[in-house]
Structure 1
């Protein structure tokens, strides 16, 4: 239904794609992945409105293809006085009213033929989006997403995560041939994320979903499109199988690369010896031997393996480097309460040690971000910050901590960098190319803006980091780099997150909001709770085995023990079949 052939596209300051091709067909649920800023959102924009873009190559879209779209930046309109049911049913109700109006006009009009044509067209439009039984379908979808209780509630009363799910349902119900969603998972709590998974898996139509969420990637999708380094790769199968395929390719390529390196080094020695001999002897034969060997060396170096989907550069996130913090406790929260129209948190108390890594978790709309902001502002008696504690804050509202109208380089001149070269060398470690420095911040992707916030925090002297959804919009490579940076950091971290993997991989314990208060829970208990609620009994054990094998493969590759790595990859392949 969609066929892209050798498409190339550039902005004036950046080339995004070169000769990329892929197809999307009926029944495919496709995950669209790739590093932040690689052009995924732009490519979906081209598919939705190709006339707006000047590109090379071909884009074949089946005539009459209807596309549904959910943006990553949709905002809840708090003034919208409409029930959830009526909001989801808007298009159906509009067409029904139009049909009723046409019928009314037929009673008095002499131009019946034109009205009959209009009536048939409108009826066809209603039928095309499944209008025959839309009330029942809305109820089914709300039930599937565990949102039935909100059917008669006002849209303005929903949390951000609930509203995002309602938008997904609204688009799905119009029966588009292709459903495009751009990071629909961002800021969803785990319950809402699980509802999104159910909606995706139950949808019968074709889907193209930009996501970095490892939970969705592991449990949805039967096709992967991977955009990396201006190139595109498509894989028919599950994400977990795609990762295995990349790992097996990596083992094979690294083994070949080691052999190539040895051969290149051997030939360099021969060339150097021939050059030394040719310096003292002028015979033509010796010169020919040197020239021939130099050509061999050139060919060996030219064929060095290029693997844009395997050797992906992970950003080097390094949080502030600190000495030992004197105080044993950096933060105390005593009997904290907050509320707006209703109480969100009441009489909550906890404290955080100088090196604790803590995740603050709970459903959307329970006061997590408000608490984090109150700690950062430090203006409430119920919040006590330790002596000599310096805080840094990462906001999920990115324009709050970044001047979006400024160039990227201005952010670093403002915090003390002296030269352009100093800034370039620093931001390169975070995965930014030099041409990004002169770009306006508001032109960056959401993931790039979060990386920029982290890069700024990393040159601060903060020993308490307050991170509000730090993995939102980050690609999976940056998420993993951030997890490692949090583990290595010597200070304290309080992180609001809905990302199960990040919580499980880098924090010491969680603070869970339940019944308007906060209780402490170990990571192990948290993992067990999530798996017990959403997976079969043996899934946790299989996941732990998988992680152990992946760690052993990584170690084998570091030691260049390729036979062991291959053997372990076979074990991993068998295990994946059980997942």
Structure 2
């Protein structure tokens, strides 16, 4: 269906792809992954509008191939009074009205021939979208996403997550040959995320989905395209199997690297000895032997193994603290309520201690962001902040904390850094180096902007962190680096997140919104609740065993015990088959 061969493309300030090739074929549900800023969205733009970009190489698409697209950003015309059914069935209703209009015109027209032609074209269009079953298909899709109850609701009344699912359904029901989705999971609560999983898995056409969501990656795709360091790697199989393949390669490469290093050290010793001999023995044969050894060493250096997809550099995220608060309450919420068009939260009471790491969990539109923002602003009568607390805030609305018209350097001067050199040194840990530091924030990807927010939060040295969807747009490598930073942090965290893995891997407990109030839930009970709803009964135990074996493999690699690592790989493979 789609074939890309040796495609290269650059912006003036950055080379994105160098001779990349891949194919997309019938029945493939493909996850498109890669670190933030690697050019995934740009490649999608090229596929969607090849005439707009000047690139080298070949991009072939079957002429009859139709495309569907769901952007990572939701746009809704709030002035339109459209129901969910009317929004999803827009094309169906339009063709249906056209057929009715032609039939009405035919009743009174004396020139029937052109109308018959128009009528046939409209019928063909109606058939192409499965018109006879379209209403039934809408109901099936809504039911699959557990949203049938919203069929007659106004689209303007939907939450952001519900509207995203409606967009996905609308594109799927138009039956495109290739459907492209750019981070459709961003900000979806877990119920809506599970609905998206069901929609993806039930779709019959080709899918190309940019996503960093580990839940979707583990449960939705049969092909992986991985873009990294201007190169692309294709893998036919599940994401779990792809990661397993990368781990096998990593073990092989590290074993070879150790052997090469030993060989190079032996050769270096021989060169040193030959150089020492050459200082008092000037025979030509000694000189030739030395030159031969130096050339051999250069060849060893040149063939050192490089693996752009195996050992990807994670940002170094570290939340330091200027001043620790010992064993006291840092945030106290007492009898808090909030309402907009309707009451969202009522009589909410909880306290956060100085080292608590807490996830604030609830469906889209239940008041989580409003509460977190009011804690940050600290001007609500029901919210009390410890006098010794220094609070930093990461917003899901990136423009709230980052100024689009600033360059990266200007943003961090505004944040209190003293010199450009200090900023350059600091941001190198987060993967920002070279010319990108002079780019406007508006030109960055969503993932890059969220990493910048994390860098600003880290630079504040605050002892209370308020993180609103910190993993949104972040690649999986940065998500894991963030989880480590959260685990190591010595202060308090309140985190809104719909990313199940970030919650269970980093938080002490959850505050869950239930019936307009908030109650505390242990992490053990939260895990059981999620797994009971969406997984087989043995899945949790198998996943925990898998994680344990992966940690043992990492330790074996640190000790360069490759035989033990290979033995554990067999154990890991058996567990992955169960998942």
- The interval holding the TM-score normalised by the smaller chain is over 0.9
2:220 alignment partner in structure 1: 220
Shift of 1:116: 2.7
1:34 alignment partner in structure 2: 34
Helix, strand or coil for the counterpart of 1:280?
coil
Whole-Å Cα distance in 2 between the matches of residues 211 and 306 of structure 1?
Answer: 26
1:393 alignment partner in structure 2: 393
1:444 aligns with 2:444: yes
Helix, strand or coil for the counterpart of 2:334?
strand
Whole-Å Cα distance in 2 between the matches of residues 78 and 549 of structure 1?
Answer: 51
Shift of 1:101: 2.1
1:515 alignment partner in structure 2: 515
Q: What's the RMSD between the two structures over aligned residues? A: 1.2
Helix, strand or coil for the counterpart of 1:58?
strand
For residues 176-255 of structure 1, what are the structure 2 equivalents within 5 Å?
176-255=176-255
Shift of 1:326: 4.1
Shift of 1:323: 4.1
Helix, strand or coil for the counterpart of 1:277?
helix
Whole-Å Cα distance in 2 between the matches of residues 312 and 488 of structure 1?
Answer: 22
Whole-Å Cα distance in 1 between the matches of residues 367 and 417 of structure 2?
Answer: 36
Shift of 1:329: 0.8
Whole-Å Cα distance in 1 between the matches of residues 383 and 37 of structure 2?
Answer: 38
Per-residue CA distance 1:230-261 (angstroms, 9 max, x = gap): 10000000100000000000000000001111
- Would you say the 8 A contact 2:223–2:236 is kept in 1? yes
Whole-Å Cα distance in 1 between the matches of residues 416 and 190 of structure 2?
Answer: 39
1:297 aligns with 2:297: yes
Per-residue CA distance 1:501-537 (angstroms, 9 max, x = gap): 0000001110000011001011111011100111111
Helix, strand or coil for the counterpart of 1:64?
coil
- Would you say the 8 A contact 1:235–1:242 is kept in 2? yes
Whole-Å Cα distance in 1 between the matches of residues 339 and 550 of structure 2?
Answer: 45
Shift of 1:390: 1.1
Shift of 1:129: 1.7
2:533 alignment partner in structure 1: 533
- Would you say the 8 A contact 1:327–1:387 is kept in 2? no
- Would you say the 8 A contact 2:324–2:463 is kept in 1? no
Relative distance call for 1:279 and 1:121 in structure 2 (3 A) is farther
2:2 alignment partner in structure 1: 2
2:171 alignment partner in structure 1: 171
Per-residue CA distance 1:529-576 (angstroms, 9 max, x = gap): 100111111111101110110110011111111111111011111111
Per-residue CA distance 1:276-304 (angstroms, 9 max, x = gap): 22233222111111110001000101111
For residues 241-320 of structure 1, what are the structure 2 equivalents within 5 Å?
241-320=241-320
Whole-Å Cα distance in 2 between the matches of residues 132 and 173 of structure 1?
Answer: 13
Whole-Å Cα distance in 2 between the matches of residues 443 and 116 of structure 1?
Answer: 51
TM-score by length of 1: 0.98
1:117 alignment partner in structure 2: 117
Whole-Å Cα distance in 2 between the matches of residues 371 and 352 of structure 1?
Answer: 14
Helix, strand or coil for the counterpart of 1:81?
coil
Task: Identify unmatched segments of 5+ residues in structure 1.
Answer: none
Per-residue CA distance 1:441-475 (angstroms, 9 max, x = gap): 11111010000011111111311111000000000
- Would you say the 8 A contact 2:509–2:522 is kept in 1? yes
Shift of 1:204: 0.7
Helix, strand or coil for the counterpart of 2:279?
helix
- Would you say the 8 A contact 1:409–1:437 is kept in 2? yes
- Would you say the 8 A contact 1:329–1:353 is kept in 2? yes
Whole-Å Cα distance in 2 between the matches of residues 435 and 123 of structure 1?
Answer: 55
Per-residue CA distance 1:477-512 (angstroms, 9 max, x = gap): 000000110111111100000000000000111000
For residues 3-22 of structure 1, what are the structure 2 equivalents within 5 Å?
3-22=3-22
Whole-Å Cα distance in 2 between the matches of residues 491 and 80 of structure 1?
Answer: 46
Aligned residues: 579
For residues 316-395 of structure 1, what are the structure 2 equivalents within 5 Å?
316-326=316-326, 328-395=328-395
Helix, strand or coil for the counterpart of 1:82?
coil
Whole-Å Cα distance in 2 between the matches of residues 457 and 327 of structure 1?
Answer: 23
Helix, strand or coil for the counterpart of 2:411?
helix
TM-score by length of 2: 0.98
Shift of 1:424: 1.7
1:73 aligns with 2:73: yes
For residues 405-484 of structure 1, what are the structure 2 equivalents within 5 Å?
405-484=405-484
Whole-Å Cα distance in 2 between the matches of residues 51 and 109 of structure 1?
Answer: 42
- Would you say the 8 A contact 1:178–1:207 is kept in 2? yes
Whole-Å Cα distance in 1 between the matches of residues 80 and 487 of structure 2?
Answer: 43
Helix, strand or coil for the counterpart of 2:461?
coil
